[in-house]
Amino acid sequence: MIMDTHIVIMAGGIGSRFWPMSTSDVPKQFVDIMGVGKSLLQMTVERFSGVCPIDNFWIVTGERYVQLVKEQLPQLPADHILAEPAPRNTAPCIAYACWKIKMHHPSANIVVTPSDALVLEPQEFRRVINEALDFTVSGQRIVTIGIKPSRPETGYGYIETGDAVSGTGAVHGVKSFREKPCREVAEQYLSAGGYLWNAGIFVWNVETIVDSIRRYAPSIASVMDEMSKSFYTDSEHDAVERLFPTCEKISIDYAVMEKAGNCIYTIPADFGWSDLGTWGSLRTLMNRDQFGNAVVGKDVRLFGCKGCIVHAPEETTVIVQGMEDCIVAEHEGRLLVCRLDHEQSITDYIK
């Protein structure tokens, strides 16, 4: 374990495609999507067990979700919950956490991760994270974790890998970042090899990322410099309320990663990762019966169904007949019945 390691978990999204389990009041990262008695946020914290102590965890979330974080992670120091007064995408979110960490931990090595992904092999996950931390502890190095693709996925961005870095276990340079492809291009990536899914997990030294944001996103750095004058004081909340919404709304990928060139690296990984963006992605990770159906619930009975996901943990008994490639999900009086190939439209349906 590297003693000055810190974990930043981004937990501000609303996960609208996971309705009805995920709502704007209680987004999916705070929900027990898997039916295992833990929310995705709690599972994210748990998978970092042993990488660093809980006192070195930081959660960046929306103001309305601060109480949910406190309830689900009571062991987390209260001042390590950073509340965004407005959503400004990942670059300002990450900058806020890193500027604050740097003030008291100027040599910190930092892992930044989403709160709503799933990892099926946490031991292998920790091994990869520790390898990345060992690599970024010195020098101007940023590592983005890449996932070895198992299918021609069109819902993820891709990382084109470069040459392996000599003297490291599995670190590679990065040739380019690729946007979410069409099916044909995704198949080309898979057959060509050397392409990884972009998991949105970053590892860097705090000095490296602060310098990179100063260079490639100076307007955000300027806001952070002004905000940081109030960090760890009684005026921090008011300063963040006033200044944070003035940040450019931009992802860390566009703001830094695609511009930083030679200091960007990746580690190809295979630890059972999914970003759990949709009901369909959840179905692929669950145990399925001989007809491809996946269920969460006390007593779910399927008759003549194929390729469905049924998620109704609160109901006593659920019976579904004659459905194929569909979502059936119920939560707190809200019911969704939808074809899986229409799940990208759920956001539009619930407006």
pLDDT band at 3 (very low <50, low <70, confident <90, very high): low
44, pLDDT greater than 50: yes
CATH number at 106 reads 3.90.550.10
Q: Which of 254, 274, 294 is the endpoint of a domain?
A: 274
pLDDT tens, 306-332? 999 999 988 999 999 999 999 999 999
**Residue 152 sits in the same domain as residue 114:** yes
Q: What is the DSSP letter of 105?
A: -
Q: Which residues contact 328 (CB under 8 A, 6 or more apart)?
A: 308, 309, 310, 311, 312, 318, 320, 336, 337
**Residue 261 sits in the same domain as residue 286:** no
Return d(Cα 159, Cα 176) in angstroms, integer: 6
pLDDT band at 274 (very low <50, low <70, confident <90, very high): confident
**Residue 114 sits in the same domain as residue 207:** yes
176, pLDDT greater than 90: yes
Residue range of the domain that includes 300: 279-349
Q: Which of 230, 257, 274 is the endpoint of a domain?
A: 274
Return d(Cα 274, Cα 155) in angstroms, integer: 11
**Residue 237 sits in the same domain as residue 284:** no
**Residue 9 sits in the same domain as residue 156:** yes
**Residue 260 sits in the same domain as residue 309:** no
More confident call, 1 vs 113: 113
Return d(Cα 267, Cα 265) in angstroms, integer: 7
Number of domains composing the chain: 2
303, pLDDT greater than 90: yes
Radius of gyration, alpha carbons of the chain = 21
Cis peptide before 20 (omega within 30 of 0): yes
**Residue 85 sits in the same domain as residue 183:** yes
pLDDT band at 2 (very low <50, low <70, confident <90, very high): very low
**Residue 233 sits in the same domain as residue 331:** no
pLDDT tens, 209-252? 999 999 999 999 999 999 999 999 999 999 999 999 999 999 99
User: Tokens representing 155?
Assistant: 């819902």
**Residue 325 sits in the same domain as residue 229:** no
pLDDT tens, 101-159? 999 999 999 999 999 999 989 999 999 999 999 999 888 999 999 999 988 988 889 99
- Report which listed range, 76-85, 149-158, 270-279, is most confident: 76-85
What integer best gives the mean pLDDT of the chain? 94
Burial label for 288, CB within 10 Å (0-12, 13-18, 19+), is middle
Please name every residue paired with 83 in a beta bridge, in sequence order, or none if there are none: 61
pLDDT band at 1 (very low <50, low <70, confident <90, very high): very low
**Residue 337 sits in the same domain as residue 218:** no
> In whole angstroms, how far apart are CA 314 and each of 14, 280, 331?
21, 20, 7
**Residue 110 sits in the same domain as residue 220:** yes
Write down the pLDDT at residue 326: 97
pTM for the model stands at 0.92
Return d(Cα 58, Cα 78) in angstroms, integer: 9
Measured in whole angstroms, how far is the alpha carbon of residue 86 from the centre of its chain? 19
Is the Cβ–Cβ distance between 7 and 52 less than 8 Å?
yes
Q: Which of 258, 274, 290 is the endpoint of a domain?
A: 274
Return d(Cα 339, Cα 169) in angstroms, integer: 43
**Residue 118 φ/ψ, nearest 5 degrees:** -120, 140
**Residue 178 sits in the same domain as residue 93:** yes
